[in-house]
Structure 1
Amino acid sequence: MTIQDELSSTIADLVGPDRGILAADESAPTIEKRFRAIDVESTEDSRREYRSLILSAPGLGEFISGVILFEETLGQTSLEGQPIPELLKSQHIVPGIKVDKGKKPMVNAPGDEITFGLDGLHDRLESYKAQGARFAKWRDVFHISDTLPSRTAVEANAEVLARYAAVCQSCGIVPIVEPEVLMDGHHSLARCAEVSEEVLREVFNALARHRIQLEHMILKPSMVTPGKDNPHAAPSEVADATLTIFKRVVPAAVPGIFFLSGGQTPEEATANLNALNSHGPQPWALSFSYGRALQEPAQKAWAGKLENREAAQEALLKRARLNSGARSGKYQAALED
């Protein structure tokens, strides 16, 4: 199979109807924070137990097409001794991998951040591919204020995302390009729309410069929402603002837009996705790539106790099922009960 065949096959498996991507790639500090909220110590064993039990939820592949894994998880085995990538394949789920090395303050750009991890990326991707990963994810973040993000930060982060995507495609790995416009702050819906348009326009300019095959990538952006310190917008407002911007700047050649939840509650993330898909067919598949918005109920149900396995699995399956419905505009709030 050629690299082009590999990329096409992975896209076909990820961007099918009624399914989305589970982001289970929390870094060590992030999952420690999540576990602390349920009074569970974050250790290699506890992380393995939790991720093993949710990824083995019966029927997960009906709603989930791919899972983004943290490097530690890619090399682990399930509680039954099966390598995690093989466990996912048995559910017809594509294994993926987070490859960035985290963000740090950007020099000479106060308040902005940039993501690291390009050094050695090709060799790491080849190793991850040998372990079973078929797609990758890289996240850059953009803070919003009256003056942020700076033009320097927008250009630099877009360039990093494009360089990452180019290396991925050269290895036969589908890149998920994640430019996250953060919800933190008190900015308005209109300000978020302004920043989102600027960021996405620059990202696709950079992708073009680096000759990225748009047909063989997935975009993982934020929805256009007010800052979380402001009153939340109605799903219809979020959908209208998001689609207005995306139709301006996201080429139709991109096969799928898999939104991040970015601080939304599980219910908000599902309702907003449903509103987006209620507008009818778009040039791209509109799906989900949620982390906390899929996993939070499962983590609470598990609470660090293996005997809660079935409750945790059902909590995950419920959210996956509801978001699957939202992919075709069939979600209703009454289904939460």
Structure 2
Amino acid sequence: MAEKKYELQEIQKLQGHTDRVWSVAWNPVAGTDGTPPILASCSADKTVRIWKQNPQTSAFNCVGRMRVHTESVRSCSWSQNGHLLAVASFDGKVSIWNKTETGFEFWHFLKGDKNIEVESVSWDASGAHLATCGRDKSVCIWRVEDKYTFEVMAQLRKHKQDVKMVQWHPSDEILFSCSYDNTIKVWPRYSDHDEWNCTETLDHAKKGHSSTVWSISFNATGDKMVTSSDDLSIKVWGAERRQSGGSYGPWKHLQTLSGNHDQTISSVHWSSEGIIASGAADDAICLFEENQDGLESGANYKLLLKKVKAHERDVNSVQWSPKEVGLLASSGDDGTIKIWKLISPQ
């Protein structure tokens, strides 16, 4: 009997951006509390768009278009309560937006160096800290004081090249950064002070990547991490919770997934149900699941499916929705966002 295969079914193509769409981000609360799912997208057309699902038709419609930046908008991130949206741009600014009942209110720009392109922005689980990074090789951590006050608490300078992404651990006060210098750095917060020190560098010597690291994501429990790179590989890392202090570490290489993409793997994201999605410059999306049959010696994850020509040009971002929504969003150089559903074999 032939093995039944999963299918990644395209639900809708979202059009409106006039240039490449760098990144997508699901609101972590919308769709889980009786409100419709909401997706943010940001683009080289200098705008952020907000897409909301119509409960009657299930179609996503653009309900907001925000433009305050003067250059390409590279990254966007929701606070965990779903109220605030932070947006990073190549104009050197990070804008903060507040979700209201009628739309989105622009609060202000974070004060930064206007000459330095900001590559990535990320909220921590508590909503008390925001991290940014950019072309100046540094990582900046901001403390959220109130509506109009974001204070710089730390500027971390350990990377030797541009920092491509910052990502907080899903539960602990640990920041992770990845860079053009081929490394991932781990920055835990010390005691009750706003101090972060680099305790680990995951590099080629530790079975890490051999080229630019573009993306970081965590599983639901936070004891595994997945990264993607220009070296055409995806790496899975694992850590155990330390007895003293309760934090995770050290991080160890568990598996390398290669041979699935043949161009830069720009984005990787781990669903709450344990499926890893990757998007690459080969226009494809791959999905990986935990290998239960044990046939692959030493492997923990295997290819579930590969969707070729997921976009007409490079896939820049993939992101799973909250579990209750059950969708995957992707964006590409073709200027579109696509909404996908994983169909299980019957």
TM-score under structure 1 normalisation? 0.33
More strand by share: 2
More helix by share: 1
